[in-house]
């Protein structure tokens, strides 16, 4: 089965709807709760019978998506803070900020890749049940990074958005290829004395990133490694894209409103992209 994005949108509304009730807890569940539930279902499935995710567990899709988005924000801020002290790790954490955005989209929509079970599934809705439906997926997109980026890019709302693209390590111009270069290439020799910035400096850098015109940057380049301006601008704009996505679908939801502006980064993070351009030479 291919991904059904109409169903994916419906799952977003239903999963968040469970968390909008007055008695719903606004905190994050225990670590690994969603993956444990889904892996257990896949492990116990009977031949010919699709596993059913209990209604009581369906809110985990929403909370996992939001937590992944928070992880993206944290990785982005780490990248900005490390820009001068460790360009290599700033590059890697900046990439993972983008990757966590893709997982945030996917989990919210009920799309999940099980590493232990080697299966990819979509939670579909059938006769009021949340059904774990297996997805057919090409062999060259089965890696976690290629899978999630391609799955998210296929959503009609994001299909024509330049921020969302396929992410094959074999494509030298892909985000993943840039991250692989940082992780595995020998003799990068990117070391400087540690000199961590103040929070005011980080906040100022985030503010400058927020003034980069939307869609004005290209994919990261190996040739320009660490290419932090592109890595961080893309991560920031993707973070905002997820917020806009949920704002459109569940803007008044209690759970989303509680986590839409994380308190732990309120003094450094911004949540809008200005429509004016800025000279990229001012970025670093």
Whole-number Å distance between alpha carbons of 141 and 143: 6
Mean pLDDT, residues 11-31: 96
Q: Tokens 């990757």 appear where? A: 99
Q: Domain span at residue 170?
A: 5-282
State percent of the chain over pLDDT 70: 94
What is the token pair recorded at 72? 């993206």
Show Cβ contacts of residue 263 under 8 Å, excluding neighbours closer than 6 positions.
none
> Could you tell me the pLDDT band of residue 5, with boundaries at 50, 70 and 90?
very high
The residues with which 111 forms a beta bridge, in sequence order, are: 122
Q: What are phi and psi of 119, to 5 degrees?
A: -130, 150
> Could you tell me the pLDDT band of residue 284, with boundaries at 50, 70 and 90?
very low
> Could you tell me the pLDDT band of residue 176, with boundaries at 50, 70 and 90?
confident
- The confidence score (pLDDT) of residue 282 equals 52
Mean pLDDT, residues 95-110: 98
Looking at the predicted structure, is the pLDDT value of residue 241 above 90?
yes
- The confidence score (pLDDT) of residue 279 equals 52
Q: How many domains does the chain have?
A: 1
The mean of the pLDDT values for the chain is 90
Mean pLDDT, residues 95-113: 97
Note the pLDDT tens digit of each residue in 41-70: 988 776 667 899 999 999 999 999 999 999
Looking at the predicted structure, is the pLDDT value of residue 265 above 60?
yes
Whole-number Å distance between alpha carbons of 109 and 269: 25
């Amino acid at each position: 089965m291919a991904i059904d994005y109409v169903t994916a949108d419906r799952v977003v509304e239903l999963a968040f709807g469970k968390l909008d009730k007055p008695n719903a807890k606004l905190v994050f569940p225990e670590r690994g709760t969603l993956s444990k539930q889904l892996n257990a279902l896949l492990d116990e499935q009977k031949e010919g019978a699709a596993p059913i995710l209990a209604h009581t567990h369906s809110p985990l899709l929403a909370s996992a998506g939001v937590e992944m988005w928070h992880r993206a924000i944290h990785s982005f801020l780490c990248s900005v803070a490390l820009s001068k002290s460790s360009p290599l790790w700033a590059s890697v954490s900046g990439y993972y900020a983008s990757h966590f955005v893709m997982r945030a989209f996917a989990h919210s929509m009920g799309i999940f890749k099980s590493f232990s079970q080697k299966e990819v599934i979509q939670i579909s809705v059938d006769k009021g049940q949340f059904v774990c439906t297996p997805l057919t997926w090409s062999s060259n997109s089965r890696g976690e990074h290629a899978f999630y980026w391609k799955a998210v890019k296929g959503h009609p709302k994001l299909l024509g958005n330049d921020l969302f693209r396929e992410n094959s390590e074999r494509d030298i111009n892909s985000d993943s290829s840039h991250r692989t270069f940082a992780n595995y290439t020998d003799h990068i020799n990117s070391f400087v004395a540690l000199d961590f910035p103040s929070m005011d400096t980080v906040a100022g850098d985030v503010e400058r990133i927020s003034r980069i015109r939307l869609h004005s940057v290209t994919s990261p380049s190996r040739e320009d490694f660490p290419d932090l301006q592109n890595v961080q601008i893309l991560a920031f704009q993707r973070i905002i894209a997820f917020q806009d996505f949920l704002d459109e679908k569940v803007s008044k939801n209690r759970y989303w409103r509680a986590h839409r502006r994380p308190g732990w980064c309120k003094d450094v993070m911004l949540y809008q992209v200005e429509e004016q351009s800025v000279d990229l030479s001012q970025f670093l």
